[in-house]
Structure formats: structure tokens, C-alpha cells
Structure 1
Amino acid sequence: MPQMAPMWWCTLEISFIVSLIIMMTNIFFNLNIKIKSNQKIKKKEIKWMW
């Protein structure tokens, strides 16, 4: 029950929220890196064509 051990539930909640934030930031940065790498590849292809 939450009334018996509030610190346990607080730590669980905080750890869950922190893990979610870390996962979201990882996904965001991975997507940014993929988009940048695709743009660099396209620019390189255009340079090679010229």
C-alpha cells in the first residue's frame, strides 16, 4: 500500500520517469543522427555527380 511505504513508491515513480526521459532522448538523438547522415550521403552523391 502507498500509505505503508511512500518512499518506495516515490523512488519507483522517479526511476520510471527518468528511464522514460532517457529513452526519449536516445530515440531523438538517434533519429537526428540518421537524418544528418542521410543528408550528408545525399550531398556527397551530388558532389560525386558533379
Structure 2
Amino acid sequence: MNPEMSPETTVLVEYANENLQLKIDNARLRAELQKLTPAEDAPTSGE
């Protein structure tokens, strides 16, 4: 981690990295689920 960064910035960067990792995991799991689920039975996402 960059030593010049404030503790607040460090926490924000850690949160951002964690959020990005979760998004990557989520996308990977969604892709696996799509492979396992027939298209007509796939639940619609709540977005």
C-alpha cells in the first residue's frame, strides 16, 4: 500500500478492491448459473 495515503484513503481503497472482487465473483457465479439453468426457467434479475 502507498505509504503517503491517509488511513481514510487506505480504507476506501480496501473497500473499493473488495467491492470489485465481489462484483467479479458475482459475475462468475451468474455465468455458472446461466450454464446450469435452462434459459426459459432462468429467474429475471431484480434490476
TM-score per shorter chain, which class? 0.5 to 0.7
Aligned equivalent of 1:32, options 13, 21, 25: 25
Structure 2: segments with no counterpart, 5+ residues: 42-47
Aligned residues: 35
The structure richer in helix per residue is 1
RMSD: 1.7
Structure 1: segments with no counterpart, 5+ residues: 1-11
Structure with bigger RCO (C-alpha 8 Å, 6+ apart): 2
In structure 2, give the amino acid aligned to 1:19: L
> Could you tell me the percent identity over the aligned residues?
9
**Higher Rg of the two aligned structures:** 1
Give the equivalent residue in structure 1 for 2:44.
none
